[in-house]
């Protein structure tokens, strides 16, 4: 059975648009595909994380303190998804190795962030490396990797396929404080070292997400690490 790690952005889970309905449908789909692949899910914090971090900053909070609040938001999102999957714990697993120990065929395991300085992209790559996963699915609000930000540049072109080295070039060039990168540089490094493919897709398109999880053709970007 293949092993797959899905990184779901907080902006996908709780954008404030029919969130309960979407999370319910997502959970139903994940249960279906978990019969065919072994699944681990890492949830991001989205605008909830940014909102709390922003207030903390205005109150004079350090980057570390802002991160702590952002991580709490990722864990709340993980609990929401686990509630939809049928069982919400009082607290979610916070260590990638522990998540992998809890993982088994037919059982979907879910976590949020870990420690300040590690994005959920990086955490998903850590989980995937520990799990010896076949691929990492990155479900975001952008449906693929583009030559430029498609929300700002109408001439941006979608890149259907690329190598892990080409992705590394993009993320190391654009990465910086408070920047939302295509994928976290540490996550790319781990994916390259462990030869794990990354699929970048529209996380709100459940058909696309299902195809990516099952290793079928996608409309997003396939990043080849081999």
107: left (phi over 0), alpha (psi -120 to 50) or beta: beta
Distance CA 98, CA 96 (A): 5
Alpha helices in the chain (DSSP H): 10-13, 19-33, 46-58, 63-85, 96-102, 120-131, 164-174, 185-193, 206-213
Give pLDDT, residue 43.
Answer: 97
CB 76 within 8 A of CB 91: no
Distance CA 192, CA 185 (A): 11
Distance CA 51, CA 32 (A): 34
Give pLDDT, residue 169.
Answer: 86
CB 188 within 8 A of CB 224: no
Mean pLDDT by 10 residues, the chain (226 residues): 95 91 97 97 94 96 95 96 95 95 96 92 94 95 87 89 91 52 85 93 96 96 92
Beta-bridge mates of residue 107: 104
Give pLDDT, residue 185.
Answer: 86
Which 8-state DSSP code applies to residue 160? S
Give pLDDT, residue 181.
Answer: 64
Q: For residue 153, how many other CB atoms are within 10 A of its CB?
A: 11
Give pLDDT, residue 111.
Answer: 97
Give pLDDT, residue 173.
Answer: 65
Kindly state the tokens that stand for 193. 């070292």
Give pLDDT, residue 35.
Answer: 96
- Percentages helix, strand, coil for the chain (3-state, rounded to 5) are 45, 20, 35
């Amino acid at each position: 059975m293949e092993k797959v790690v899905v990184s779901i952005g907080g902006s996908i889970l709780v954008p404030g648009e029919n969130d309960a309905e979407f999370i319910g449908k997502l959970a139903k789909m994940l249960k279906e595909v978990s019969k065919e692949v072994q699944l681990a899910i890492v949830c991001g914090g989205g605008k909830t994380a940014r909102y709390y971090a922003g207030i903390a900053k205005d109150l004079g909070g350090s980057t570390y303190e802002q991160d702590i609040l952002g991580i709490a938001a990722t864990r709340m999102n993980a609990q929401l998804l686990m509630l939809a999957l049928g069982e919400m714990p009082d607290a979610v697993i916070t260590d990638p190795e522990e998540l992998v120990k809890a993982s088994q065929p037919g059982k979907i395991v879910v976590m949020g962030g870990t420690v300040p300085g590690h994005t959920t992209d990086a955490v998903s790559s850590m989980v995937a490396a520990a799990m010896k996963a076949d691929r990492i699915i990155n479900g975001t609000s952008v449906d693929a990797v583009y030559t430029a930000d498609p929300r700002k540049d109408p001439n941006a072109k979608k890149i259907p396929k690329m190598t892990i080295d080409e992705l590394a070039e993009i993320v190391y060039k654009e990465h910086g404080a408070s920047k939302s990168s295509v994928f976290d540089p540490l996550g790319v490094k781990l994916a390259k070292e462990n030869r794990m493919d990354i699929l970048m897709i529209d996380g709100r398109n459940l058909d696309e997400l299902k195809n990516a999880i099952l290793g079928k053709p996608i409309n997003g970007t396939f990043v080849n690490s081999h």
